[in-house]
Structure 1
Amino acid sequence: MRAVSLYVLLLLLLLLSTTSLAVDLPTLPSQHNASPHGFFLSSGSKLGSSDSFDTWNIDSGYSYSIFDSLDVYIGARLNNSHNSVDQGFLSGVSYNVSDRISVKSTLRGYQYEENNEKQGAMAAEISSRMRLTENLDVHATFDFEKVQQGVEVGLGFRF
């Protein structure tokens, strides 16, 4: 009987020691975190100062996620206006306060004509967006340029 209990004890120790030596397998590619690199494309409109129709802006470029809710980006702005003030290269920071609220600041370089000479300048823009429903949000933007300043508040619809 003593030999059987010693045999069971040795077998139990052998089983416990082999399980404690187990090694975790490497994670599968589908389990890896998302890449911090990304591309963005956004569009919006604003009432033209000299035109009687809206100007559509399209911003696109490269973004890099520093933290889960903080991104830096660089890109370009194009639009349908003949005025080159609203076009140019841009860079900025985007912060997601929550799943529903985001804040973004942008610096943009542009050219304008003064006394028949092209001048270079910078514009600053601060905007915020709050998602009301899955397809509806409200946004506010403050835009500061040498030639004009503006505040815009509006509703956005995603589809």
Structure 2
Amino acid sequence: MIVKANAGTVTNFEVLDLLNSKGASKDTTRVMGLKDKVSSSEYKVYDYLMETAASTQTRESVTKFSDKCKDFKLVKAEILNIINLRPSSDVELTPIIEKPDEREIDTEGILELVQQLLPPLPTLESEQEETENAEQEETAV
């Protein structure tokens, strides 16, 4: 379903949000029949995006991050890639930004902003929860 052709680039979060609005879910009983609003290829995209930063983001976090990035003089494509990839180190961020040294881009400031405004990746969240649960079990014994 194309809402508006050539409307510009969108974040992975926006694609995931669209698929959710069409009824995509992780439901293991999902059956793709003729009446299904979500195609099999869209389910594949949905499944992939659920393993990325997009699954933990909110419209508010993406909007707030985009607005704050304007202070760093990043172009739209760089902001979009940072939102989609959620880099957590200079090694992950530097390839996203074109000529960061020549443009005097504050990569440390951007990484702090990522940490503050964009939720952790799904794998990091589950690892943190497992660690917390293990610590609680140890103290309970």
Instruction: Give me the TM-score of the superposition, normalised by structure 1.
Output: 0.20
More strand by share: 1
More helix by share: 2
- Greater Rg over alpha carbons, structure: 1
Greater relative contact order (Cα 8 A, min sep 6): structure 1 or 2? Answer: 2
Instruction: Give me the TM-score of the superposition, normalised by structure 2.
Output: 0.21
